[in-house]
Structure 1
Amino acid sequence: MDTVIVLFNRDLRVHDHPALAAACDEARRVVPLFVADPAMPMGLRQGFLAECLADLRESLRERGGELVIRRGDPVAQTMRVAGEVAAQAVFTASDVSSLARRREGRLARECATARMEFRCFPGVTVVPPGALRPSGGGDHYRVFTPYWRVWKDHPRRQVLKAPGMVIVPDALAPGPLPVPRHGPHELFRGGETVGRRRMTQWLRHCVSDYADGHDDLAGNRTSKLSPYLRFGCVSPLETEALAEGGDDFVRQLCWRDFFHQVAQAFPRVNRDDYRPRGHDWRDDRDAVQAWQEGMTGVPIVDAGIRQLLAEGWMHNRARMIVSSFLVRRLRIDWRVGADFFAERLLDGDVANNYGNWQWVAGTGNDTRPNRTVNHLRQARRFDPEGEYVRRYVPELAAVPTRSVHEPWRLPVGVGGYPAPLVTMD
């Protein structure tokens, strides 16, 4: 082929990029393209995305290439660029959300009409979502443990090197990088360069301690790779390949794959109950606002929310605690909390965010749908000295640890901190 367009979406890297590698192998000229879609809600991730795109453009330029950026409907803009360069094919990474699948379907039809090849490649997950099917029938695994057993032994594709050279057509305007309404994030810098550095250093020095330390709320011992996996700055397959001796960490990558294959089979995972349970949710706007502001009067819950508001990220154990509190104790619809997370989490994607929320709510893939998290027991176990709470709820800096984990013992109105929304036991 003479010219191939590689449409980037959630795969903003040059290493282990099957679509880019295939285009460079099969075509004389390659057009790396990203289309900023105004209809795609990015929330507070805009600054992180802008950094990812700037880093990707620089990596492509180092290889003689360019990142072409357009704004508008991804399908229309892709076909417009294809016409400008007389492309013979469009390559892209396959994704699982309903939005991504509609985009892929439209691209396939438009390419067929224009007599162009359209090809989807893996790369968003370790194992492609449709690759594993239950032996007893069905199009996907509904329970994690049997999926894990099959997943860990499934053959992997080869991890691909970054292309040495990317040749783009002459006289194609690259287009400006998007200017976000929200600036770069202080704690997470976007891009493959930063993501790969974090990945290699953490896997080299910290993964062996993951099993013992990943639930330590105050210890800050998780990888914090999730934003880079969400935007595809690092390859999940390469991450797994480098995680030698990190079985517990690899299991988390499997959970990510698991929710992606659920989302592919159930595209409305962000709107409809995967397993309807007949919940009678409460409509309590004051309670929702208190939860969203980290002012529930339950310190471990408020600490988690305030970490999210401050950092665009939340410790995994805290996510379970604060989500369980909303749906189990306040009896608020899981969609309210999931949408709030989706807007503010740097790593918020449809499959994992909504899959986890449904798991907590008992409407998803948990085999124990009535599971309830004891928030205070969790606080005592995973933040025994109250360090995590005090870090994010400074009003309680001088409060003894016992009182931090027993909200009913807190002095009324200490530092302006509210009384608990619900009776705690």
Structure 2
Amino acid sequence: MNTSVVLFTADLRLHDHPPLRAALDGARRVVPLFVRDDGIDGAGFTAPNRLAFLADCLRDLDAGLRERGGRLVLRSGDVVAEVLKVVAEADADEVHLAADASGYAHRREHALREALEADGRRLHVHDTVTAAVEPGAVTPTASDHFAVFTPYFRHWSGHSQRDPIGAPRKVNVPDDVKSEELPSRDAVSGTSPGLAEGGEAEGRRMVADWLRSGIEAYEDQHDDLAGDGTSRLSPHLHFGTVSPVELVHRSRLAGGAGADAFVRQVAWRDFNRQLLAVRPEASHADYRTRRDRWRTGKKAEADIEAWRQGRTGYPIVDAAMRQLRHEGWMHNRGRLLTASFLTKTLYVDWRVGARHFLDLLVDGDVANNQLNWQWTAGTGTDTRPNRVLNPTAQGRRYDPDGAYVRRWVEELADVEGKAVHEPWKLSGSERAKLGDYPDPIVDLKDGLDRFRHARGLE
């Protein structure tokens, strides 16, 4: 009786899963396997919020498999060693795996292929499982990747995409392959109080709600901080509980300006993945150096800590940073302005901010996080590397009534109207009511002058 192994990684779902479908088509028995990989632990990417969300995803995946007569096999350790053990236990002929973009994923694939082939087994790697359009599927004439989003998006939009695949009706898993106990989010300490629920069932529910009542207004409302007119699907895309191919397909069926704008954001995700696939060093090094001499020392460290804690004295920045700490998620407009504030107003290395985000974000994805930080810092693909976002102007524009600030900065909850964005201008008696909410840690003009001097723009 032939057997295949499906190694799940960032694709924790049953719907629209090409590796699982291929394995079921080619074998009577399938071992759905997830390995808690020592390599990821060693790289420092096991943040509590992602571990808790992952626990939800694994339990939901196991439940879905059990509904179909199967189960999830869980192992821990070196991914190659554990896959080889499972292959031997099941006497499997082949392993199916989703392609991924990071340098680590490429090294994992190479090591798996060598080890399996040495043992007389085969590795099958499947595209368009974690991306709508795979890195390398669209390239410019004279380069191996697009460095500018607009031409990339034009080619991405014209690239043919496969149709989504339904979930299997039955999965036959051999009984003699043992599994570790599934993790629980309750066993994870240090999580954000407002952390969202994980799992494919929750992801599909959110997609249905989004397509029914959110996507139509997305073009007009996606930057509204208080209104939060975003899908909040990024954690589910990161863990693969939602298929990017199916999400694009269903969004295009919904149609309209909102759907077009939303699909464009999915394309941004693929854009960053194709950048990382050919420039893996961009996860830690400037894509385009500006020869920055970032601030260090005690004053810089104090500024960084104030930024982390949401105590910069700039309410819109502080609101976004407190949302991150409470939810393990932040509105995209908030990500842009907090990153601009750290890298350009405070002139602190983008890697400091990227690391803090990865410590907390449930959707902490190396391609999107690191390359969006570089885009904002002006060391990435941005054609305007010296753009500086003014936090006060950003607050007035994207939180005009101050509702977002008052929601997250409790010290300012009673400040009325637009004054909430400049509390340092309140009268003495009104300012005294704010307790220990700080004055701005830097004057915006001073910060801009420092940045312009550092970049040689004077």
SS at the partner of 1:119? strand
Q: Which runs of 5+ in 2 are unaligned?
A: 446-458
Tell me which of 389, 396, 403 is aligned to 2:412: 396
Alpha carbons 2:6, 2:31 under 8 Å: kept: yes
**What CA distance in whole angstroms lies between the structure 2 residues aligned with 1:173 and 1:294?**
46
Partner-residue secondary structure (3-state), 1:5: strand
Equivalents in 2 of 1:139, 1:159: separation in Å? 28
Q: Distance in 2 between matches of 1:77 and 1:397?
A: 53
Q: Does 1:408 align with 2:397?
A: no
Q: Which residue of 2 aligns with 1:99?
A: 104
Q: Does 1:226 align with 2:226?
A: no
Cross-structure match for 1:111:
116
Q: Does 1:181 align with 2:188?
A: yes
Aligned-pair CA distance for 1:203: 1.0
User: What is the distance in 2 between the residues matched to 1:54 and 1:186?
Assistant: 20
Task: Tell me the equivalent position of 1:156.
Answer: 161
C-alpha displacement at 1:413, in angstroms?
7.8
User: 2:136 pairs with 119, 130, 133, which one?
Assistant: 130
Q: Which amino acid aligns with 1:155?
A: S
Distance 1:254 1:386 in 2: 31
- 1:316-331 aligned at under 5 Å gives the runs 316-331=332-347
Structure 1 residue 353 and structure 2 residue 369: aligned?
yes
Alpha-carbon distance in 2 for matches of 1:153, 1:402: 44
293-302 or 404-413: bigger deviation = 404-413
Quick check: 404-413 or 76-85, which moved more? 404-413
CA–CA distance in structure 1, aligned partners of residues 306 and 379 of structure 2:
24
**Residues 327-351 of structure 1 deviation map (CA, whole Å, 9 limit, x = unaligned):** 0000000000001101100111000
Q: Given the two structures, how large is their TM-score scaled by the length of structure 1?
A: 0.97
State the alpha-carbon separation in 2 of the partners of residues 252 and 416 from structure 1. Answer: 39
After superposition, where does 1:165-204 map in structure 2 within 5 Å? Answer: 165-179=170-184, 180-182=187-189, 186-204=194-212
TM-score (norm: length of structure 2): 0.90
| Shift in CA distance, 185/268, structure 1 to aligned 2, threshold 3 Å | farther
- Greater helix share, structure number: 2
Contact map agreement 1:47 1:184 (CA 8 A) in 2: no
Q: Per the alignment, do residues 413 and 285 of structure 1 end up closer, same or farther by CA in structure 2, a change over 3 Å counting?
A: farther
**Residue 14 of structure 1 pairs with residue 14 of structure 2:** yes
Indicate the percent of aligned positions where both proteins have the same amino acid: 50
Q: 2:269 aligns with which of 256, 266, 285?
A: 256
Q: Which runs of 5+ in 1 are unaligned?
A: none
Give the letter aligned to residue 91 of structure 1: H
Moved more, 400-409 or 23-32: 400-409
State the match for 1:2 in structure 2: 2
Q: What's the CA shift string for 1:106-165, capped at 9, x where partnerless?
A: 101101111111111121010111101102x11110000000001011000121111111
What is the deviation of 1:181?
2.3
Q: CA deviation at 1:39?
A: 3.8
Q: Indicate the SS of the match to 1:23.
A: helix
Secondary structure of 1:70's match?
Answer: strand
Tell me if 1:365 matches 2:381.
yes
**What whole-Å deviation, never above 9, does each CA across 1:15-48 have from its counterpart, x for those lacking one?**
0001001001111110000001244222021111
Secondary structure of 1:415's counterpart equals coil
Instruction: Name 1:32's counterpart in structure 2.
Output: 32
| Aligned-pair CA distance for 1:184 | 8.6
Aligned equivalent of 1:294, options 306, 310, 327: 310
Residues matched between the structures, number? 424
Instruction: Tell me what 2:217 maps to.
Output: 209
* Residue 100 to residue 58, structure 1, CA distance change in 2 (3 Å): same
Give the aligned residue type for 1:262: L
My pick for the range that moved more, 168-177 or 287-296, is: 168-177
